[in-house]
Amino acid sequence: MRSILYGLLAFSGISLAAAQSAEDYKVTSLPGIDISTLNFTQYAGHIEISSETNANLFFWMIENEIKSGNEKLIVWLNGGPGCSSMDGLFLENGPFRVNPDLSLSINEGGWQKYATNVYLDQPVGTGFSFANTDSYMHNMSQITEEFVTFVDKLFIAFPHLAQQDFYIAGESYAGTYIPYFASRLLELNKEHGKYNLKGIAIGNGWISAEHQYNAYYDFSVQHNLVDKDRLPIISAHLKNCQNDIKDKETIHVNSCERILTDVIDSSTHENKAGDKICMNMYDIRLKEETYPECGLSWPYELDDVTKYLRLAEVKTAVHADKQTLGWKECTSLVSAELHGDQSKPAYYLLPGILEEIPVLLFSGEYDLICNYVGTEYLIGNMTWNGSRGFSKNTKKEVWKIDNKLAGYYTQERNLVYVLIKDGSHMVPYDRPIECLDMINRFMQVGDNVVQGRLSQVGNGTTPITTPTTKPAPRPSLPAPSSTKTEKDTNSQDELEEGELMPEDKWSQYYNWGTSTLIIVILFALTLCCCWCRGSRRPSASAADEFGGAPQQVREGVHSNKNSLLGFVRNLFNRGKSASANRRKFRLGDNDESNELDELVIETPMLFEADEDEDDNVNQHHQHFAIDDEDDHEDEDDDFEDFADFDDGEALTTNTKHTSNPKKFKKKD
């Protein structure tokens, strides 16, 4: 029905300039490779958005190789804002890689096997897209309508695409684009029902400014990226940022950008040759980047991609000749025009989207600029489908490919969160096979095999998928606590890293139960002995031992020292009293006791809170409490699993510092 509708629109002559046929866009040759050897067909060119402003969006489409009858369509978006999605095509999940001699080779991790992929340069002015420079977009409302117009005209040129399961995917600043686009399409569906949108996927996304700005501090301390003497400075900037966000929360908060600058400055130093170098903000493992770029020219293959896309033969082959300026990875003017955008963060749109379609959020562990800590703060503080955060019985499951750790999956109530081992800001660049398996699972294709490698999540090989029907509403729960870790709330279901549950898993539970019974009996005998001894003490001893008024007065009749229940309560109260006397240290406090020497960063809260926690906790704010080290000495930090998984693969993150304020773009 959808293809008939768009066919009629094309036939009726709606937007004749844009309604070119598919054959007009077909790529019949491509420099650097013999396309007759390829298993897929390509289409590329411009779709006119507005004749008045000369606005044209460029796309490059790779058709799926396998025609299964249940076709998938992915529109891929890179971020910036103002960065070209040709990054995705040639550096990440597209079928090609550019060699130094400008020939093309095939990317094993391309997403085109099961899905048609459309790489879109948007908004106008990005990559090969263009418009009159006084017609660039100024806010997310304009960009959203531009995207909807593109989709409509794409479906006119290719009516069969309207029938396919439609996904929007991207990374970085696309974490803002995609929720806006999806929310608008779902809204329009209530009127027309013409968009077959099945899900969205966001990698290392800039979704919530507040949670990500807060996470800069915690992520940096957790990975030892900042010198101790610089922490008070960054803490002061963080407090200023938080105050400004309280006044008005938008996609960007100018004062908050200083926090990232502080972290990068802390990594800046001179190498042996006397050159200034710094850490790569997109991959903290890379410590010797040229200053002041600090990763802006990364990935290193970008130079080859730029040369290739600027070849006149390439522009002609992909019907991009109407754009006369040549290809640039990121266009600063596009970003500058959006600098004053007062749109609300995309975070507020996610709950409504999750009511209707699945959402995949994935993060590489070594990205700083849109790091996984911020994503986990976002999840832990977001209320969707009746509850806040993941519930406590939701398992974080080990994900393996070829029996090697790939990362961790957590999913519930239409939300899938994936933390990817050894991933950077551009995860498909670092981990192409892992990302291919991940997107196949999300689309429910692939049969747990990715490029000949077996893949599994948890203790079985069932694909991780999410329901597409609207879940039943659940009662609201209190805000998550900032003093509990993911391990605290999920430890019972947690597997040891890299360890799979044996087939006879129940036998270990029987053994565990027997051991537990013995321990309980011994504990009960010990309590009885202590109670018998306590019952012979003078009645004043309760007050003397615990301080203050007798137990009967403070806790009531059931706390009588001569009852077993009273003894147990006294025992626990003693522990609570000792705990209360311990000093809690928070980031930003004056460290006169050198407690910063023993900092322990708490892991982000992904899970719902206990029922008795404060209902009035701000759901959009994450506190950064740091407990004394001995409070956590036996805990396992779920988010350091990767560093410990393979012997000898842990990465050091010690840095030096200098001071040079700089503003960075959330590019890719």
- The number of C-alpha atoms within 13 Å of 595 and in the hemisphere containing its C-beta is 20
Instruction: Print burial letters for 28-38: b (CB count within 10 Å at least 16), e (below 16).
Output: eebebeeeeeb
Q: What is the DSSP string of 296-317?
A: TT-STTHHHHHHHHT-HHHHHH
- Whole-Å CA distances, 661 to 260, 291, 338, 467, 655: 10, 12, 22, 46, 17
> Residue type at 602?
E
342, with CB counted inside 10 A (0-12, 13-18, 19+), is: exposed
> Active site residue: 46, 211, 319, 425, which one?
425
- Whole-Å CA distances, 67 to 39, 115, 190, 197, 347: 12, 9, 30, 19, 36
- Contact of 355 with 384, CB cutoff 8 Å: yes
- Contact of 414 with 358, CB cutoff 8 Å: yes
- Tell me the sheet residues that pair with 59: 45, 120
Q: What does the alpha-carbon distance between residue 197 and residue 209 come to, in Å, rounded to a whole number?
A: 26
Query: Closest Cα to residue 58, out of 32, 73, 78, 35?
Result: 78
> Residue type at 164?
Q
Q: What is the residue whose two structure tokens read 């977009």?
A: 137
Q: What does the alpha-carbon distance between residue 256 and residue 135 come to, in Å, rounded to a whole number?
A: 29
Q: Is 207 helix (H, G, I), strand (E, B) or coil?
A: coil
- Tell me the sheet residues that pair with 76: 119, 169
Q: What is the DSSP string of 146-169?
A: HHHHHHHHHHHHSGGGGGSEEEEE
- Whole-Å CA distances, 327 to 105, 129, 235: 21, 9, 40
> Active site residue: 129, 172, 266, 481, which one?
172
404: DSSP letter: E
Query: Closest Cα to residue 93, out of 430, 460, 432?
Result: 432
Q: What is the residue whose two structure tokens read 């805990």?
A: 635
> Active site residue: 218, 341, 367, 422, which one?
367
Q: Reply yes or no: is the peptide bond before residue 123 cis, omega within 30 of 0.
A: yes
> Residue type at 524?
A
> Residue type at 200?
I
- Tell me the sheet residues that pair with 201: 169, 360
- Contact of 299 with 90, CB cutoff 8 Å: no
Sign of CA dihedral 350, 351, 353, 359: positive
- Whole-Å CA distances, 268 to 215, 237, 293, 600: 21, 19, 11, 24
Annotation marks residue 507 as catalytic: no
55: DSSP letter: E
Q: What does the alpha-carbon distance between residue 502 and residue 403 come to, in Å, rounded to a whole number?
A: 14
Annotation marks residue 668 as catalytic: no
Annotation marks residue 367 as catalytic: yes
- Contact of 236 with 189, CB cutoff 8 Å: no
> What is the SS3 assignment for 85-146?
CHHHHHHHCCCEEECCCCCEEECCCCCCCCEEEEEEECCCCCCCCECCHHHCCCCHHHHHHH
Q: Give catalytic residues, as residue numbers.
A: 172, 367, 425
